[in-house]
Amino acid sequence: MAFYKGEYVMKNSNMSQVDDINKIVIVGGGSAGWMTAAALANTLGKQCNITLIESDDIGSVGVGEATIPAIKQFNQRLGISEKDFISNTNGSFKLGIEFVDWGKQGHSYFHPFGAYGRNFDVVSLHQYWLRARATGDAESLDEYCMAWWAAKHNKFSLPIADKRNVQSTFDYAYHFDAKSYANYLRDYSEKRHVKRIEGLVTKVHLDNESGDINAVTLDSGESIEADFFIDCSGFRALLIEGELKVGFEDWSHWLKCDRAIAVPSEKTEPLLPYTRSTAQAAGWQWRIPLQHRTGNGYVYSHQHISDNDALDTLMHNLDGKALSEPLLIKFATGRRQKFWHKNCLAIGLSAGFLEPLESTSLHLIQTGITRFLALFPKKNGQFLLQQEYNRITQNEYESVRDFLILHYCQTERRDTDFWRECATMAIPENLQYKIDHFRQSGRIVASDIELFQNPSWLAVFVGQLINVEQYDPLVDARKHVDANKYLSGLRQTMKDTQGIMPDHQQYINAYCRMK
């Protein structure tokens, strides 16, 4: 969505501004708070007073170090240099996610950023691949993906614009230190007149008639008024739930993991250009390579494994020496019944939580901010805007939820109670509909505008070992198309192309080495 506020103000510059929102208070810092502050400051400029309240005594979760490609758009809108951003956040590049032991033990697959080759016919490439696989004449689907070839060999370079070249078919995101990113955006925001106040919110004052938030009081006794409040207080959801009590929709019956243990470890070679997710007995373990260290964590169900056993599993599977004490994080998977209620908007963990299996945490912050700016209100007449914001955001959360559930419910694993429960649980109707279509004919259907597009669904459908009963009949009807020759040539071209790409570490050293 575009940022519409500037255009709106210019068209209405002669109207009374008495109903304009002139002061916004953000409660909470971290990635959510400072991403919000940076976007508001960049869009609204000096016409709106923006204050962020945070306390150094309250630590942020700060383990969301992997992203998806849309983060590039967020930084670009802020005018942030990619080179400067990566070097200041100890970042690295990410071509996708490797999933190990998910479909079954001993099996792995790659969820790439970008497409599988290029369609060479009116029928999708993957349908020709399905036919070749059915006749025993196909390599792994991964081998038709440029992102996988580069990731497999620890290579990286930026995609090129020429659509005729296979180097245009992949995309990328980042790994970075989330706390460094928050500090980077804090500096950006304060240079654009965002005021930071150190303190704890101890009381929230509501208007007796409207129920809106009028002000918050800090532990210092200071009272801060505003026209609009943004709740970035994390799992506490201090405003949206603590005061406005909008309610929470629990999804733990589908996404059973409810805890995570996180710990950084020493950097190991080579510097991989992808995230790794390894399925464990009661959840999964992440591995995120940064320039200066590796991020690790075990996301698990405490109903299926004790905290001590989960910690032992994580520490046993580290690639290098642990650099700090492990951090235990407890969470509930789900979303708020309303994300925007009265004059309060929830962003980040206060809005809901979906485990970071597909690196969507920062993205949901990003889209929440962008959507709010596209629907930016006046003091009065917010109801329709709230409805639209809540409708779109609900759909987005549910779509991401279903994509995550797919990883759990479509598995051949039956080795632990956790996986047996996941494989046999009832799932949302929309997800079952998608699975049924793919299983029957290899077709990918979408219910609405979705974050994850067809290549992502294809990667997980195939990677989680769903058997397709019948490929598209048009494949056999188009007898003049020499698909096998094309697929073989595509695979060889990609293999040759990665051979001339620089190593990931070499590229970073030349372009954006950490400061």
Reply yes or no on whether the pLDDT at 16 is more than 90.
no
- Is the separation of the CB atoms in 167 and 159 below 8 Å? yes
Catalytic residue among 5, 94, 152, 342: 94
Per-residue pLDDT at 176:
96
Reply yes or no on whether the pLDDT at 1 is more than 50.
no
> With DSSP H G I counted as helix, E B as strand and the rest as coil, what are the percentages for the chain, rounded to 5?
40, 20, 40
Reply yes or no on whether the pLDDT at 111 is more than 60.
yes
Cα-based distances in Å from 374 to 2, 15, 74, 232, 240: 6, 20, 14, 19, 21
Per-residue pLDDT at 6:
38
| pLDDT tier, 61 (very low <50, low <70, confident <90, very high otherwise) | low
CA distance 302 to 277: 19
Digit-coded pLDDT (tens) for 442-486: 999 987 778 999 999 999 999 999 999 999 999 999 999 999 999
Pick the range with the lowest mean pLDDT from 1-15, 64-78, 147-161, 480-494. Answer: 1-15
pLDDT > 70 fraction of the chain, expressed in percent and rounded: 95
Cα-based distances in Å from 82 to 92, 132, 177: 11, 41, 15
Digit-coded pLDDT (tens) for 146-184: 999 999 999 999 999 999 899 999 999 999 999 999 999
CB atoms within 10 A of CB 159: 17
Strands 96-100 and 275-280: parallel
Longest Cα separation, the chain:
79
Closest CA to 94 of 272, 273, 271, 269: 273
Which residues does 511 contact at the CB level (< 8 Å), separation at least 6?
Answer: 83, 86
| pLDDT tier, 100 (very low <50, low <70, confident <90, very high otherwise) | very high
Per-residue pLDDT at 59:
64
Locate 314 and state its tokens: 């994580």
Pick the range with the lowest mean pLDDT from 117-126, 307-316, 338-347, 354-363. Answer: 117-126
pTM for the full model? 0.94
Q: How many residues does the chain have?
A: 515
Tokens 């996610």 -> residue: 97
**Residue 12 amino acid letter:** N
Pick the range with the lowest mean pLDDT from 49-63, 93-107, 309-323, 446-460. Answer: 49-63
Tokens 């709740």 -> residue: 231
Assess whether 256 carries a catalytic annotation.
no
Sequence ranges of the domains in the chain: 5-65+177-252+333-399, 120-165+428-506, 259-329
The mean pLDDT of the chain is 93
The verdict on domain 5-65+177-252+333-399 having CATH code 3.50.50.60 is yes
Digit-coded pLDDT (tens) for 425-448: 999 999 999 999 999 999 999 877
**Residue 151 amino acid letter:** A
Reply yes or no on whether the pLDDT at 358 is more than 50.
yes
Digit-coded pLDDT (tens) for 182-238: 999 999 999 999 999 999 999 999 999 999 999 999 999 999 999 999 999 999 999
Locate 418 and state its tokens: 């956790």
Digit-coded pLDDT (tens) for 268-298: 999 999 999 999 999 999 999 999 999 999 9
Expressed in angstroms, the distance from the first to the final Cα of the chain is 33
Per-residue pLDDT at 2:
39
Locate 171 and state its tokens: 């995309």
Q: CA angle 239-243-245, nearest 5°?
A: 100
| pLDDT tier, 64 (very low <50, low <70, confident <90, very high otherwise) | low
CATH architecture, domain 259-329: 2-Layer Sandwich (3.30)
Closest CA to 34 of 348, 479, 300: 348
Burial of 211-225, coded b for 16+ CB within 10 Å and e otherwise, reads ebbbbbbbeeeeebe
Closest CA to 295 of 281, 275, 269, 273: 275
Please state the rounded mean pLDDT for residues 240-265: 97
DSSP 100-154: ESSSSTT-EEEEESB-SS---SSS-HHHHHHHHHHTT----GGGG-HHHHHHHTT
| pLDDT tier, 118 (very low <50, low <70, confident <90, very high otherwise) | confident
Locate 369 and state its tokens: 């901010």
φ, ψ dihedrals at 333, nearest 5°: -80, 130
Which residues on adjacent β-strands are paired with residue 203? 217
